[in-house]
Amino acid sequence: NTEMNQARYKLYEVAKELSQFKKDFPKGDSKEREQIFKATVENLLNQYEILCDYYLSNRINKDRFIKQRKLEIKQIVESEGTKEYFANPLTSNYQAVIEVYRELKNTI
């Protein structure tokens, strides 16, 4: 949970910095900052992958997980900003997230 919160906060900070850079330098090269942003998104998704793996292997309380995380799982899989990571279930690095999403899809 601490790692998840840290990853969320870092994503917020990096997104804010990228947005500010684009405002301050509309014609500036933001490629490096966009790469940092993408890596930060992937770090957060990795945290979800770990959490979903724990869920699937019964290492956490499933009822609590469903109450606390099912909407988050739906949002990250379906969000325009992250759905590219889940577009191909066969090659995605986030297999546990996809499996949990499919399992919970009808309960959301």
Residue 48 in contact with residue 76, Cβ under 8 Å? yes
Residue 45 in contact with residue 82, Cβ under 8 Å? yes
The DSSP call for residue 106 is G
**pTM (2 d.p.):** 0.91
CA neighbor of 96 nearest in space, from 80, 73, 78: 73
Q: What is the per-residue pLDDT across 21-36, written as a single tens digit (0 to 9) for each?
A: 999 999 999 999 999 9
Other residues' Cβ atoms within 10 Å of the Cβ of residue 41: 19
Q: What is the per-residue pLDDT across 48-106, written as a single tens digit (0 to 9) for each?
A: 999 999 999 999 999 999 999 999 999 999 999 999 999 999 999 999 999 999 999 88
Across the chain, how many H-helices and E-strands are there?
4, 0
| Contact partners, residue 51, CB within 8 Å, separation at least 6 | 4, 60, 65, 69
Residue 108, pLDDT above cutoff 80: no
